[in-house]
């Protein structure tokens, strides 16, 4: 099968292409920008590119409404594997286009869509390139590297302080709202496996936040 | 064997006396209304003059009374405190809990763990008088009087929260509201001990002092967390009763009632010994929304319900879930929606409801009897040895 992969600066592009190829498919890359454009306008541009490539399936990491619109217009399957959560573009009106096959790795997110009667969102845990990583399992070779006995503990990831912090921009909220948000966050810090922040953000609290930071 | 019992208006007392009689233990008792649970000079004087402690193997009380511990320590007599209230409702219990004469029993494992390092504190689940309850017989009149789909026997917990909340500034009020809202939907994880920090309490006290110069009022942490737990419990009980009252024949037996409870039939409080078991046996589904500061333990009410042959529908409590089989011996709910759905299911499935109630009763009468508990207590206290107990 000919697959057109919409690539942006995401993790896993190389691994995904390898996996498709190992399964006997042909992959063509089509670079896209991750920036939020107007879906309808971007779709026009993308439709031409996809038509020129003539694939049988379009694939992207995360979900792009412009791609969904283009694929619907062309009658093509669009597979999107979403590795960010939450991921705001899932809530775009295009999500239930019949040509969509959207995969999310979080069962709770899947259930949210399933309960809303949306059948184009599926549950699929994330995966790794097992062959590439299995090649690392050579302890004798590892022993010779500079990494041996270098660190005992590592954490690879974001501290969520790198980019802008929405909370610190909420300067105009009332003392009550600030106290409420702090209480909510302190409570959530004690609890794993049950996220209650969303259901406890009352209409009044949201209204006060919107007043401070209109969206 | 002879025990000296401190009498007050407690649920367990009648049964404890009955059980001592049954087990051939002599009991003398005295009553006293303490001016202060910690120190009461008049009591200490009277006790010193009138009671010859040498004739007793131990002084026994339901719940823990620091003044009794102090007296027992002075007189060198063992003091057994059997607590069925949680928290203790004692200011700075650490001051006396470690007295070597003490032998204090908590039914909540987390609370016991908090004090276990003192060496005088033990964990022991509560129990019921299995002799009395296995003799329970119901007449047609009893059924006519008590038959209902759903009942809650207990307090609505009028809390002091509104009053205490008003002491705090806006920011703290927001914080308290959010933490209570989070706790409302959360079972098996108690937030208040951790999140109501000493800084938060001093913040409230400073704010009170600033607004009322010269005041001697100090809000203790225990008072605030107890009020918060009561408030969450009250809200849960009102919501649960309202939701169920709208759908089923629902009753509340309580010394309180509430105008906002629509669709619920409110009855006065009932006697623990003569009436309560009959209510449990004649009601199809008995609710146990635990007081939220009972962090992990099985409340006495849950055991009372099962022992009387009643079907128990309880909130999730860790020790209940560990020691009883959910859906076999009782049923656990995890949210208000879950409680309503399970009530509806078990009202429709008569046979399975009755089987669950029977299983629960068999287990409680056998394994959660006060008789067995008292033997364990006397053994742990070193008054009888394991072989004779």
Q: Which residue of chain B comes nearest to A178, CA vs CA?
A: B171
A157's tokens: 């990831």
Q: What's the pLDDT at B77?
A: 95
Q: Do A196 and B194 touch (CB under 8 A)?
A: no
Q: Which two tokens stand for residue B354?
A: 């009755």
User: B246-283 pLDDT, tens per residue?
Assistant: 999 999 999 987 777 889 999 999 999 999 999 999 99
pLDDT score for A37: 72
Q: Measure CB to CB from residue A178 to each of B174, B186, B194 and give the nearest one.
A: B174
Q: What percent of chain B has pLDDT over 90?
A: 90
Task: Give backbone dihedrals phi and psi of B205, rounded to 5 degrees, phi first.
Answer: -65, -35
ipTM at complex level:
0.88
Ramachandran quadrant class, B266 (left: phi over 0; alpha: psi -120 to 50; beta: rest): beta
The helix (run of H) or strand (run of E) holding residue B353 is helix B350-367
Pick from B171, B194, B172, B191: nearest CA to B181: B191
**Are residues B295 and B319 in contact, defined by beta-carbon separation less than 8 angstroms?**
no
In the stretch 138-197 of chain B, residues with CB closer than 8 A to chain A read 169-179, 181-183, 185-186, 189, 191, 194-195
pTM above 0.95, yes or no: no
Q: How far apart are CA B90 and CA B88, in angstroms?
A: 5
Tell whether the model's pLDDT for residue B169 goes beyond 70.
yes
- The band of B387, judged by pLDDT with boundaries at 50, 70 and 90, is low
pLDDT at B56 exceeding the cut of 70: yes
Q: Dump the DSSP string for B2-26.
A: EEEEEE-S-HHHHHHHHHHHHTT-E
Taking a C-beta distance cutoff of 8 angstroms, is the pair B309, B357 a contact?
Answer: yes
- The contact set of A with B (CB < 8 A) is 174-184, 186-188, 190-191, 194, 196, 199-200
Which residue in chain A has the smallest CA separation from B192?
A187
Asked whether residue B124 carries a pLDDT value surpassing 90, the answer given is yes
Query: By the 8 A CB rule, do B109 and B123 touch?
Result: yes
CA gap B61, B13 in Å, rounded: 9
The CA distances from residue B252 to B46, B261, B288, B290, in Å, are 42, 10, 12, 15
Peptide bond before A86: cis, by omega within 30 degrees of 0? Answer: yes
Chain B residues near residue A182 by CB distance under 8 angstroms: 174-175, 178
Q: How confident is the model at residue B234 (pLDDT cuts 50, 70, 90)?
A: very high
Percent of chain B with pLDDT over 70: 99
Q: Cβ distance B150 to B284 under 8 Å?
A: yes
Q: What is the pLDDT along chain A (215 residues), one digit of tens a residue?
A: 999 999 999 989 999 999 999 999 999 999 998 877 777 888 989 999 999 999 999 999 999 999 999 999 999 999 999 999 989 999 999 999 999 999 999 999 999 999 999 999 999 999 999 988 998 888 888 888 888 888 989 999 888 876 667 777 888 999 999 999 999 999 999 999 999 999 999 999 999 999 988 77
Query: Rounded to an integer, what distance in angstroms lies between the CA atom of residue B229 and that of residue B386?
Result: 39
pLDDT at res. A148: 84
For B297-339, how does the pLDDT look when each residue is reduced to its tens digit (9 = 90+)? 999 999 999 999 999 999 999 999 999 999 999 999 999 999 9
Strands, sheet with B79-82, edge to edge from the N-terminal-most edge strand: B26-31, B2-7, B58-62, B79-82, B102-106, B121-123
Query: What is the per-residue pLDDT for A26?
Result: 97
Q: In Å, how far from its chain's centre is CA B312?
A: 16
Provide the pLDDT for residue B389: 45
Residues with Cβ within 8 Å of residue B346, at least 6 apart in sequence: B284, B285, B311, B313, B331, B352, B353, B356
With a cut of 80, say whether residue B111 has pLDDT above it.
yes
Please name the residue that has the structure tokens 């969206």.
A215
Nearest CA in chain B to A183: B175
Q: Where are the alpha helices (DSSP H) in chain A?
A: 13-22, 39-53, 65-74, 107-115, 130-134, 139-143, 175-189, 197-200, 203-212
Average predicted confidence (pLDDT) for chain B: 94
Please name the residues in contact with B354: beta carbons below 8 A apart, sequence gap of 6 or more.
B311
**Structure tokens given for A48:** 């031409």
């Amino acid at each position: 099968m000919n697959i057109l992969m919409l690539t942006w600066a995401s993790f896993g592009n190389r691994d995904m292409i390898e996996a498709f190829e190992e399964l006997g498919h042909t992959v063509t890359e089509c670079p896209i920008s991750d920036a939020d454009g107007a879906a309808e306008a971007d779709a026009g541009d993308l439709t031409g590119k996809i038509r020129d490539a003539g694939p049988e399936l379009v694939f992207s990491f995360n979900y792009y409404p412009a791609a969904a619109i283009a694929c619907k217009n062309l009658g093509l399957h669009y597979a999107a594997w979403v590795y960010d959560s939450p991921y705001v573009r899932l809530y775009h009106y295009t999500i239930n286009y019949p040509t969509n096959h959207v995969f999310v790795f979080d069962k709770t997110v899947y259930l949210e869509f399933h309960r809303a009667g949306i059948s184009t969102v599926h549950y699929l845990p994330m995966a790794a390139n097992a062959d590439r990583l299995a090649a690392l399992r050579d302890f004798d070779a590892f022993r010779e590297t500079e990494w041996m006995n270098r660190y005992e503990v590592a954490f690879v990831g974001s501290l969520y302080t790198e980019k802008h912090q929405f909370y610190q921009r909420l300067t105009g909220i009332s003392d009550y709202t600030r106290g409420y948000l702090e209480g909510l966050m302190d409570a959530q810090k004690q609890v794993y496996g049950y996220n209650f922040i969303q259901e406890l953000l009352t209409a009044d609290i949201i209204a006060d936040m919107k007043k401070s930071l209109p969206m | 064997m002879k025990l000296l019992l401190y009498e007050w208006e407690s649920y367990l007392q009648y049964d404890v006396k009955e059980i001592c009689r049954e087990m051939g233990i002599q009991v003398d008792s005295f009553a006293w209304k303490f001016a202060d649970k910690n120190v009461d000079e008049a009591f200490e004087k009277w006790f010193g003059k009138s009671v010859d402690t040498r004739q007793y193997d131990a002084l026994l009380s339901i719940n823990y009374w620091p003044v009794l511990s102090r007296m027992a320590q002075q007189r060198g007599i063992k003091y057994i405190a059997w607590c069925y209230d949680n928290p203790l409702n004692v200011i700075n219990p650490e001051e006396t809990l470690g007295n070597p004469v003490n032998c204090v029993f908590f039914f909540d494992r987390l609370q016991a763990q908090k004090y276990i390092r003192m060496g005088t504190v033990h964990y022991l689940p509560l129990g019921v008088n299995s002799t009395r309850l296995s003799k329970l017989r119901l007449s047609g009149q009893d059924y006519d009087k008590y038959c209902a789909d759903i009942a809650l026997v207990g307090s609505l917990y009028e809390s002091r929260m509104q009053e205490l909340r008003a002491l705090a500034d806006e920011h703290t009020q927001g914080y308290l509201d959010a933490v209570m809202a989070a706790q409302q939907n959360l079972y098996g994880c108690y937030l208040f001990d951790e999140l109501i920090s000493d800084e938060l309490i001093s913040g409230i006290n400073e704010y009170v002092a600033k607004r009322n110069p010269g005041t001697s009022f100090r809000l203790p942490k225990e008072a605030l967390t107890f009020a918060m737990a009561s408030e969450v419990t009250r809200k849960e009980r009102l919501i649960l009763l309202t939701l169920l009252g709208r759908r089923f024949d629902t009753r509340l037996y309580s010394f309180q009632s509430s105008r906002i409870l629509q669709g619920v039939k409110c009855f006065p409080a009932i006697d623990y010994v003569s009436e309560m078991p009959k209510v449990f046996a004649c009601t199809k589904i008995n609710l146990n929304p635990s007081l939220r500061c009972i962090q992990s333990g099985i409340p006495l009410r849950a055991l009372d319900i099962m022992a009387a042959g009643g079907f128990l529908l309880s909130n999730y409590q860790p020790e209940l879930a560990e020691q009883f089989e959910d859906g076999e011996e009782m049923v656990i709910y995890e949210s208000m929606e879950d409680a309503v759905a399970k009530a509806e299911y078990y009202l429709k499935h008569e046979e399975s409801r009755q089987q669950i109630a029977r299983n629960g009763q068999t287990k409680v009468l056998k394994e959660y009897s006060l008789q067995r508990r008292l033997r364990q207590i006397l053994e742990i206290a070193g008054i009888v040895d394991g072989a004779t107990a």
